[in-house]
Amino acid sequence: MEKMVNIYLFGKKYEVPAGLTIMTAMEYAGYQLLRGCGCRNGFCGACATIYRIKDKQELHACLACQTEVEEGMYVATLPFFPLVKQVYNIEEIKPTEQIMMQLYPEIYSCIGCNACTKACTQELSVMQYIAHAQRGEYEACAELSFDCVMCGVCSSRCPAGISHPQVAMLARRLNGKYIAPECGHLADRVQEINEGTYTSLIEDLMQKPIAELKELYNTREIEK
């Protein structure tokens, strides 16, 4: 008989198999997940969850699709973390230190506690990429934050109220638009699309049955 553990979902006790993720344990317990379940592999950041272990005070934040259940785990999922999302036109702003100060001035209130890094579900150096953003070093900020899944867990632990994922996204956009070398083959492919090079191929695919499309996808040639 497989090992079972006792967990608490939204205050109600359930016995579930050990080794399940929080997400699959919720489904085992009878919950139907319609939102906040995204990719199920830790890449979409939609299943931000908080939990603590029975008789312990420490509160943990995680992604439900990555984290396995533990004996005595109290779980509460969150619909989202309220990040500050400033509006800007990437065609009009420039990669200066002043633009970060204008859009996300709270980053200069960072106290260096490193709580954001400790909370990151992707184990990114969050405090360090914020330091790069403060200095207008957008290429370095973009590199360190590249694997961010925008879950917002880092911001939930920040005493300065920094919206780390949004700061990182701005840095990546500035880097891609103004700093990183232009991608020639991508420009060529966009031109081919605009010229209709692939129109007949796309129309042909749209006429195929689902089963054939699945087979084509599964046997496709993947670039190395």
Looking at every residue in the chain, the average pLDDT score rounds to 90
Contact call for residues 93 and 174 (beta carbons, < 8 A): yes
- For 96, residues 6+ apart whose C-beta sits below 8 A from its C-beta are 136
Which of these CATH numbers, 1.10.1060.10, 2.60.120.380, 2.60.40.10, 3.40.50.720, describes 97-179? 1.10.1060.10
Query: How far, in Å, CA of 213 to CA of 1, rounded?
Result: 41
- Phi and psi dihedrals of 64, rounded to 5? -65, -25
Q: Does domain 4-77 have CATH number 3.30.70.2660?
A: no
3-state secondary structure of 13: strand
Q: Which residue would you say has higher pLDDT here, 35 or 130?
A: 130
Structural element, H or E, at residue 133: helix 126-134
Which tokens in the block code for residue 206?
């749209």
Least confident segment among 25-29, 31-35, 113-117, 208-212? 31-35
By residue count, the chain amounts to: 224
Domain with CATH 1.10.1060.10 in the chain: 97-179
Domain with CATH 3.10.20.30 in the chain: 4-77
Q: pLDDT digits over 176-206, tens only?
A: 999 999 888 888 999 999 999 999 999 999 9
Provide the pLDDT for residue 223.
Answer: 72
Q: Could you report how far apart the first and last alpha carbons of the chain are, in Å?
A: 44
The two beta strands, 4-9 and 73-77, are parallel
Handedness of CA 129, 132, 138, 144 (dihedral sign): negative
Provide the pLDDT for residue 17.
Answer: 92
Provide the pLDDT for residue 84.
Answer: 87
Which tokens in the block code for residue 83?
């990040």
Provide the pLDDT for residue 36.
Answer: 67
Q: Beta partners for 75? A: 9, 51
69, 50, 2: which is closest to 156 by C-alpha? Answer: 50
